[in-house]
């Protein structure tokens, strides 16, 4: 099948506007469907839908880039359906940039339903009953037919705590697949065809494997580089260490993407270390499960303390949830299992993260030092800036029942 995407005259790619190889950076990434400013957070629309939200609501929350998933869309409705509809942008009515994951994360998340070898990944039939085979070329072909602006290479993501031998094998295979993906991308015309392709650095928690992988990936003609294999169960300090050790190995002129990160403290710490873009399901997943981000930590809105609380979730937040509704009403929706509650709370959480990223962009552009940024974050996001850890039962979750 021939490439689905037309050649484009758009000057695609990353522009570093302020910053260096390490430390906080300010940039912009141009695609055929517009640009997004960095550092940025991309909400996840796995099945061509940011769950519960209209595209216009996602845009109004401040998002400029969204993510969809190659594996899931290939199963349902199938990339041929999306292609016939004119690509993801027309299919889901999102007119901004779209990034598609390769299916590599499902190598991690669907353990037991897949078989991996050097040729690729064989996925057994799951929800749709349809089996799927992905290799580096097939993963890119599907993403080409989906018509995303940024495609990710197929990689193997080992779980946290995996033994060195397993991580070493996954890193070797990731590099093998990356070389083939780079060859295919160039054969199809590279960036000139209107779709960027990003490589992925794996290596688990092993510094030498991360270095080996990063040094090899940066030599390949990828349009951006992601750090994968984090937020898969490792402690936060270990994740920060991996980012801090990997970023200096990456070219300053290419965009850096930390995959699967969405807690405010993680976003902040990674921005300080030189990461440009992020994605995660957390703001909408937490919203549907009645957990809300606020500067002081997280609110569990189902707790009885909010039964008569007529204040908004967060004073001054411009989202519809905070602008028009009270904590008492949101608690009522949660207990009544009304769909509206999840929609409003998802809008709030997404707006919260997008405001954080906008504030970071503004301060980096103004030349704030990492020390000044850390002090600002500690003062304005006190529940997160003092080392708040949602995995720690002693961390403050507002309204905790006593």
Q: Are 172 and 198 in contact (CB under 8 A)?
A: no
Cross-strand pairs, 256 = 225
- 149, 276, 279, 309: which is the annotated catalytic residue? 279
On the question of pLDDT at 144 being above 60, the answer is: yes
On the question of pLDDT at 69 being above 90, the answer is: yes
- pLDDT tens-place string over residues 354-388: 999 999 999 999 999 999 999 999 999 999 975 44
Q: Which of the four pLDDT bands, split at 50, 70 and 90, describes residue 401?
A: very low
Residue 389: the pLDDT is: 45
Q: Are 29 and 14 in contact (CB under 8 A)?
A: yes
Q: Is 101 a catalytic residue?
A: yes
Q: Is 309 a catalytic residue?
A: no
Q: Are 384 and 297 in contact (CB under 8 A)?
A: yes
Peptide bond between residue 39 and the one before it cis (omega within 30 degrees of 0): yes
Residue 381 structure tokens = 């996001």
Q: Are 194 and 215 in contact (CB under 8 A)?
A: no
If DSSP states are collapsed to H, E and C, what string results for 120-184? Answer: EEEECCCCCCCCEEECHHHHHHHHHHHCCCEEECCCCCCCCCCCHHHHHHHHHHHHHHHHHHHHH
Q: Which of the four pLDDT bands, split at 50, 70 and 90, describes residue 390?
A: very low
Closest CA to 134 of 112, 153, 109: 153
Q: Which of the four pLDDT bands, split at 50, 70 and 90, describes residue 126?
A: low
Closest CA to 65 of 45, 91, 90: 45
Average pLDDT over residues 40-62: 97
pTM above 0.85, yes or no: yes
Domain 13-280 bears CATH identifier 3.40.50.1820: no
Closest CA to 131 of 47, 74, 69: 74
Closest CA to 68 of 83, 55, 90, 50: 50
- pLDDT tens-place string over residues 225-264: 999 999 888 999 999 999 999 999 999 999 999 999 999 9
Q: Are 39 and 71 in contact (CB under 8 A)?
A: no
- pLDDT tens-place string over residues 70-84: 998 998 999 999 999
What's the gap between Cα 278 and its chain centre?
A: 4
Q: Are 255 and 277 in contact (CB under 8 A)?
A: yes
The helix (H) or strand (E) run that includes residue 13 is: strand 13-18
| HSE, side-chain direction, 13 A CA sphere, residue 178 | 27
Please identify which residue in the block is written with the tokens 């030092």: 369
Give the CA distances from residue 125 to residues 103, 117, 145, 244, in Å, rounded to whole numbers and listed in that order. 14, 18, 22, 39
Show Cβ contacts of residue 193 under 8 Å, excluding neighbours closer than 6 positions: 3, 5, 6, 7, 8
Residue 123: the pLDDT is: 84
Average pLDDT over residues 52-60: 98
Q: Are 263 and 269 in contact (CB under 8 A)?
A: no
Residues of the chain with pLDDT > 70, as a percent, come to 90
Mean pLDDT of the chain: 91
Closest CA to 1 of 138, 203, 182, 180: 138
- What is the rounded distance in angstroms from the CA atom of residue 384 to the CA atom of residue 88? 35
Q: 59 by DSSP, 3-state: which? A: helix
On the question of pLDDT at 326 being above 80, the answer is: yes
Higher pLDDT, 107 or 220: 220
- What is the rounded distance in angstroms from the CA atom of residue 346 to the CA atom of residue 51? 9
Residue 224 structure tokens = 């951006």
Closest CA to 18 of 391, 388, 400, 366: 366
- 7, 101, 145, 309: which is the annotated catalytic residue? 101
Domain with CATH 3.20.20.105 in the chain: 13-280
Residues of the chain with pLDDT > 90, as a percent, come to 83
**Least trusted range by pLDDT, from 13-27, 138-152, 294-308, 388-402:** 388-402
* DSSP letters for 182-249: HHHHHHTTGGGGS-EEEEEE--TT-HHHHHHHHHHHTTS--SEEEE-S-SSS--HHHHHHHHHHHGGG
């Amino acid at each position: 099948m021939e490439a689905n995407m037309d050649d484009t005259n758009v000057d695609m790619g990353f522009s570093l506007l302020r910053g260096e190889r390490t430390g906080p950076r300010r940039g912009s990434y141009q695609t055929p469907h517009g640009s997004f400013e960095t550092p940025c957070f991309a909400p996840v629309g796995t099945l061509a839908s940011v769950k519960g939200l209209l595209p216009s609501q996602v845009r109004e929350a401040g998002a400029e880039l969204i993510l969809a998933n190659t594996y899931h869309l290939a199963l349902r409705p199938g990339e041929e359906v999306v292609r016939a509809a004119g690509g993801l942008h027309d299919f889901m009515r999102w007119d901004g940039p779209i990034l598609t994951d390769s299916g590599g994360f499902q190598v991690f998340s669907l353990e037991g339903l897949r078989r991996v070898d050097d040729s690729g990944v064989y996925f057994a039939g799951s929800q749709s009953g349809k089996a799927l085979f992905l290799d580096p070329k097939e993963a890119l072909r599907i993403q080409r037919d989906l018509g995303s602006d940024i495609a990710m290479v197929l990689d193997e993501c080992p779980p946290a705590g995996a033994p060195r031998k397993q991580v070493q094998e996954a890193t070797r295979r990731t590099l093998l697949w990356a070389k083939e993906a780079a060859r295919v991308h160039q054969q199809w015309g590279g960036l000139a065809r209107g779709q960027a392709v990003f490589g992925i650095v794996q290596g688990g928690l092993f510094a030498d494997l991360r270095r080996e992988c990063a040094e090899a990936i940066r030599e390949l003609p990828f349009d951006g580089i992601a750090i994968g294999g984090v937020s898969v169960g490792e402690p936060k300090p270990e994740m920060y260490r991996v980012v801090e050790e990997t970023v200096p190995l990456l070219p300053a002129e290419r965009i850096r993407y930390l995959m699967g990160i969405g807690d405010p403290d993680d976003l902040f710490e990674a921005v300080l270390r030189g990461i440009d873009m992020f994605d995660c399901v957390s703001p909408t997943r937490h919203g549907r499960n009645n957990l809300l981000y606020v500067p002081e930590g997280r609110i569990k809105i189902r707790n009885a303390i909010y039964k008569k609380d007529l204040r908004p979730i967060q004073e001054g937040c411009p989202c519809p949830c905070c602008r028009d509704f009270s904590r008492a009403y949101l608690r009522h929706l949660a207990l009544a299992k009304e769909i509206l509650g999840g929609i409003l709370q998802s809008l709030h959480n997404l707006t919260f993260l997008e405001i954080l990223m906008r504030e970071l962009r503004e301060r980096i552009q103004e030349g704030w030092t990492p020390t000044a940024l850390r002090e600002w974050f500690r003062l304005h996001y006190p529940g997160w800036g003092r080392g708040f850890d949602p995995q720690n039962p002693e961390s403050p979750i507002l309204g905790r029942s006593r």
